[in-house]
């Protein structure tokens, strides 16, 4: 029913109604903000008055977000390290070897051991026949104890290489001194080029020049240092500078000729990798035929650095999946905790809801208030989780030694996802609060 | 109730039969027309109010009295728009409240009704000022205007100095004055007080009643629901409720 045409209650009420209406209309766009700000104030006040409860409520959300942020940050840091490491050797290199770099099972191990060794002759044939190949070199590794005077270093990688272009294929360069000449290399002289870790461990971090001409003992054999390499840094905490390069012919004298070696082939450009691989595969097929007892086996392994990258990629994607699982579980549990606490809070504050309704709060005002309270809890939890996640990643990155990449996206995502958890878990308690009958609610104590 | 009980009202016409309901009387601030309130208790129907009708013009100071279980509280809830009647029409300030939904009622409570409760019902965690601002927040009044209005309302009950105190830092009388300021801040059509002195000592009760008198002199329409004859005696008109009906409706001043 509308107001009947007769002028009603006198001038006073007429103007006051109109003023009320005017005020209402004028403040319409403001209303939402005002109500939300009020809801936010109420939310923070009620969270502050129940500090322990708030803390416990936050925990689930914090744990979930911390896990995701830490893992994402760590893996991003590792990704960068890995990308840098492999780009130094580049995607222009592939290898021929007896055993692949990654052996997945015992059966494979047995199978690969039945293969013929990859020899100096294999490398020579490839060098001769492969027209697409740019550099071809051979390398064999051993691990030894290295001594100088009374200092010693354990587990040093001894790398016998030929020819000297293997330094280029490996992506290492000379910092001081020189590489051996071809003549020195072929004649099997006891000379070596060492990585910077050798200086650090055996020469008390002396300057490179001081080590040149010094003699070190590798597995009992003396070698003269003629060059020092530029540092490469470490990956996953393992130094790549703890190495001694010696000529392959010297390596053969020390460790025998019967060890299988690895042929490294480099092409000038990544585009030429595939034709070069095809050529080398054909050459090797002609030389090998098949492994005895196993017609399906090629008899050799042709690999690029992609093997590592693929393994790394699948390992990290598994870690991602597990972490997302952990995070999802703890966010669900956290959400249930928040819902429970919100239900308790609604019950405790029934009277307050009654008062608010009596003085004019509508359903949506009460709904908004409790929703904002739930979202405030979870968003704070999310923010704390982002902080502790980055903190954890920082500690781990400092321990292992990889760069810390703080991603704004993951921070925003962490807070965003936990806010959504807040909305979802706050919805039902808030709806219950908004449905309360004001008379009943006012009667509550 | 037997149908031969006549309910006399010296001021307004009594309308007993439902068919005679005529709706809004434009001279009245409140028009109750044959109001029934029925509750379903299990299989039984309980009539809390049956056929209550009265009018309250603007500017009146009225007390509603009755023993507990008389339907007094039900009537108060209806007047205060916390509830709607099962049957009958309730016109408040020319609006038919009896047919409104929850959110419309909330709006009416916000704009037209100022509640004063026995136990004050202030928000414990909020300052006096914030408590008084609350109706304006739900009314959508902007913050600077809201502050001014709330301060004025607190000044009107002599609490300017205590406005940043929380309820637990205030005496009972001061708390009730904050509640009255909250009730008045939106310039409602009616001030509806439910046992406003029930939790106060005699001296403070008198102070609060003096305040109501002052507010009445300033032109406010005041409805006090009470069971205390002393309190009712200060009003200008007394409606007695018994067994869900109006027993007496007397102008005493």
Which pLDDT tens digit goes with each residue over A318-341? 888 888 888 888 889 889 999 999
User: Is residue A49 less than 8 Å (CB to CB) from chain B?
Assistant: yes
Do residues B252 and B65 lie in contact, with contact meaning Cβ atoms separated by under 8 Å? no
Per-residue pLDDT of B29-71, as tens digits, reads 999 999 999 998 888 998 999 999 999 999 999 999 998 889 9
* Dihedral (CA of A307, A310, A313, A316) sign: negative
| CB contact B134 to A (< 8 Å) | yes
All residues of chain A having their beta carbon less than 8 Å from the beta carbon of residue B144 are: none
- Answer whether residue A32 shows pLDDT above 80: no
A-chain CB neighbours of B102 within 8 Å are 362-363
Rounded to whole angstroms, the Cα distance separating B59 from B240 reads 20
Most B CBs within 10 Å, among A358, A363, A366, A372, to test the B interface:
A358
A35 contacts B24? CB cut-off 8 A:
no
Q: Which two tokens stand for residue A278?
A: 């095809």
Position B243 pLDDT exceeds 50: yes
Q: Which one-letter DSSP state was computed for residue A291?
A: B
Q: Which residues of A touch B77 (CB under 8 A)?
A: 439
**Chain A contact set for B219 (CB, 8 A):** 12
**What is the average per-residue pLDDT within B118-143?**
91
The answer to whether A25 faces chain B, any CB pair under 8 Å, is no
Query: Collapsing DSSP states into helix, strand and coil, what is residue B79?
Result: helix
Calculate helix-pair angle for B128-139, B172-184, nearest 10 degrees.
Answer: 20
Chain A residue numbers touching B143 (CB-CB < 8 A) = 34
The rounded distance, in Å, linking the Cα atoms of A351 and A177 is 85
Q: Regarding predicted confidence, which is higher, A426 or A292?
A: A426
Query: pLDDT grade, residue A295 (50/70/90)?
Result: low
B95 and A CB contact within 8 Å? yes
The answer to whether B142 contacts A30, with C-beta atoms less than 8 Å apart, is yes
Identify from B98, B108, B137, B153 which residue to disrupt to test chain A contact, counting A C-beta atoms within 10 A and taking the largest count.
B137
Give residue B177's Cα distance to chain centre: 16
Terminal C-alpha separation, chain B: 30
Higher pLDDT, B253 or A195: A195
Q: In chain B, which residue's Cα lies nearest the Cα of A8?
A: B26
Residues of A in contact with B96 (CB under 8 A): 1
**Cβ <8 Å between B140 and A34:** yes
Compute the 3-state secondary structure of chain B and give helix, strand, coil in percent, each to the nearest 5. 35, 25, 35
Q: Hey, is the C-beta of B83 within 8 angstroms of any chain A C-beta? A: yes
Q: By the CB < 8 Å criterion, does A30 face chain B?
A: yes
DSSP string, A389-440: HHHHHHHHHHHHT------HHHHHHHHHHHHHHHHHHHHHHHHHHHH--HHH
CB B166 within 8 A of CB B184: no
Q: Which residue among B121, B123, B140 sits closest to A27, beta carbon to beta carbon?
A: B140
Residue B8, pLDDT score: 44
Minimal Cα distance from B23: which residue of A? A1
User: Could B125 and A46 be called an inter-chain contact, meaning their C-beta atoms sit closer than 8 Å?
Assistant: yes
Q: What confidence tier does B164 reach under pLDDT thresholds 50, 70, 90?
A: very high
Partner residue facing B137 (CB), from A28, A34, A49 = A34
B222, B61 Cβ separation under 8 angstroms: yes
Q: Indicate yes or no: CB of B138 within 8 angstroms of CB of A359.
A: yes
The answer to whether the CB atoms of B103 and A363 lie below 8 A apart is yes
Residue contacts between A and B (CB atoms, under 8 Å)? 103
Cβ of A13 and B189 within 8 Å?
yes
| Lookup result for tokens 């109010």 | B49
Average the pLDDT over each of A61-65, A141-145, A432-436 and give the range with the smallest value: A141-145
Looking at every residue in chain A, the average pLDDT score rounds to 81
A438 in contact with chain B, both atoms CB, cutoff 8 A: yes
Q: Do A16 and B187 touch (CB under 8 A)?
A: yes
A9 vs B29, B109, B122: nearest CB: B29
Mean pLDDT, range A85-94, rounded to an integer: 68
B9 touches chain A (CB under 8 A): no
A chain contacts of residue B111, beta-carbon cutoff 8 Å: 20, 360
Nearest CA distance, B94 vs chain A (angstrom): 6
pTM of the entire predicted model: 0.69
Examine the pLDDT at A147 and tell me if it is beyond 80: yes
Kindly determine whether residue A20 and residue B111, on different chains, have CB atoms separated by under 8 Å: yes
Q: Which residue has the higher pLDDT, A137 or B149?
A: B149
Q: Which among B106, B122, B182 is the nearest to A357, CB-wise?
A: B106
Contact B182/B135 with Cβ under 8 angstroms? yes
User: Is A4–B82 a contact, with Cβ atoms under 8 angstroms apart?
Assistant: no
Angle, nearest 10°, between helix axes A350-358 and B102-112?
A: 70
pLDDT in tens, B190-212: 999 999 999 899 999 999 999 99
CA B105-A371-A391 angle, 5° bins: 165
* pLDDT score of B232: 93
């Amino acid at each position: 029913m509308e107001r009947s045409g007769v002028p009603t209650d006198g001038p006073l009420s007429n103007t006051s109604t109109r003023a009320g209406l005017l005020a209402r209309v004028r403040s319409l766009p403001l209303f939402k903000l005002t109500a939300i700000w009020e809801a936010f104030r109420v939310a923070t006040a009620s969270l502050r008055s129940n500090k322990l409860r708030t803390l416990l409520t936050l925990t689930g959300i914090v744990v979930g977000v911390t896990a995701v942020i830490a893992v994402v940050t760590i893996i991003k840091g590792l990704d960068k390290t890995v990308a840098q490491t492999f780009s130094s050797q580049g995607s222009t290199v592939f290898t021929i070897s007896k055993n692949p770099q990654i052996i997945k099972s015992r059966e494979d191990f047995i199978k690969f051991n039945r293969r013929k060794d990859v020899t100096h002759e294999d490398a020579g044939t490839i060098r001769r026949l492969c027209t697409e190949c740019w550099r071809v070199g051979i390398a064999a590794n051993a691990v030894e104890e290295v001594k100088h005077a009374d200092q010693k270093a354990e587990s040093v990688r001894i790398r016998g290489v030929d020819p000297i272009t293997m330094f280029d294929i490996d992506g290492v360069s000379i910092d001081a001194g020189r590489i051996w000449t071809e003549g020195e290399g072929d004649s099997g002289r006891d000379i070596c080029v060492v990585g910077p870790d050798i200086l650090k461990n055996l020469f008390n971090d002396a300057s490179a020049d001081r080590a040149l001409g010094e003699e070190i003992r590798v597995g009992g054999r003396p070698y003269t240092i003629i060059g020092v390499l530029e540092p490469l840094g470490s990956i996953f905490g393992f130094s790549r500078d703890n190495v001694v390069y010696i000529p392959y012919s010297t390596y053969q004298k020390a460790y025998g000729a019967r060890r299988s070696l690895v042929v490294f082939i480099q092409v000038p450009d990544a585009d030429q990798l595939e034709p070069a691989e095809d050529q080398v595969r054909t050459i090797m097929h002609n030389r090998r035929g098949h492994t005895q007892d196993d017609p399906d086996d090629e008899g050799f392994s042709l690999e690029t650095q992609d093997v590592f990258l693929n393994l790394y990629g699948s390992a990290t994607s598994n870690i991602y999946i597990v972490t997302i699982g952990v995070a999802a579980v703890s966010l669900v549990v956290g959400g249930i905790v928040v819902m429970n606490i919100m239900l308790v809070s609604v019950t405790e504050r029934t009277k307050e809801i009654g008062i608010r309704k009596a003085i004019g709060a509508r359903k949506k005002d009460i709904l908004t208030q409790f929703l904002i309270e739930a979202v405030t809890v979870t968003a704070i939890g999310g923010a704390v989780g982002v902080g502790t996640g980055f903190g954890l990643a920082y500690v781990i990155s400092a321990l292992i030694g990889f760069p810390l990449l703080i991603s704004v996206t993951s921070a925003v995502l962490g807070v965003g996802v936990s806010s959504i958890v807040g909305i979802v878990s706050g919805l039902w308690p808030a709806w219950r609060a908004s449905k309360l009958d004001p008379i009943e609610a006012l009667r509550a104590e | 109730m037997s149908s031969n009980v006549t309910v006399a009202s010296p001021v307004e016409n009594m309308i007993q039969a439902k068919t005679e309901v005529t709706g809004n009387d434009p001279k009245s601030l409140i028009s109750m027309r044959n109001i029934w309130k029925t509750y379903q208790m299990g299989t039984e129907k309980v009539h809390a109010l049956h056929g209550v009708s009265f009018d309250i013009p603007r500017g009146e100071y009225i007390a509603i009295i009755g023993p507990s279980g008389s339907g007094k509280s039900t009537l108060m809830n209806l007047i205060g728009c916390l509830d709607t009647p099962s049957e009958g029409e309730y016109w408040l300030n020319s609006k038919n409240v009896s047919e409104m939904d929850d959110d419309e009622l909330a709006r009416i409570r916000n704009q037209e009704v100022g509640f004063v409760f026995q136990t004050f019902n202030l928000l414990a965690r909020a300052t006096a000022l914030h408590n008084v601002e609350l109706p304006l927040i739900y009314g959508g009044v902007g913050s600077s205007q809201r502050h001014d209005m709330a301060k004025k309302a607190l000044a009107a009950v002599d609490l300017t100095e205590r406005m940043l105190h929380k309820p637990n830092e205030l005496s009972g009388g001061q708390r009730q004055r904050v509640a009255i300021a909250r009730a008045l801040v939106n310039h409602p059509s009616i001030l509806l007080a439910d046992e406003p002195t029930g939790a106060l000592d005699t001296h403070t009760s008198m102070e609060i009643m003096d305040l109501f008198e002052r507010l009445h002199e300033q032109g406010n329409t005041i409805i006090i629901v009470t069971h205390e004859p002393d309190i009712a005696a200060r009003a200008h008109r007394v409606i007695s409720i018994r067994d869900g009906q109006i027993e007496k409706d007397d102008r005493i001043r």
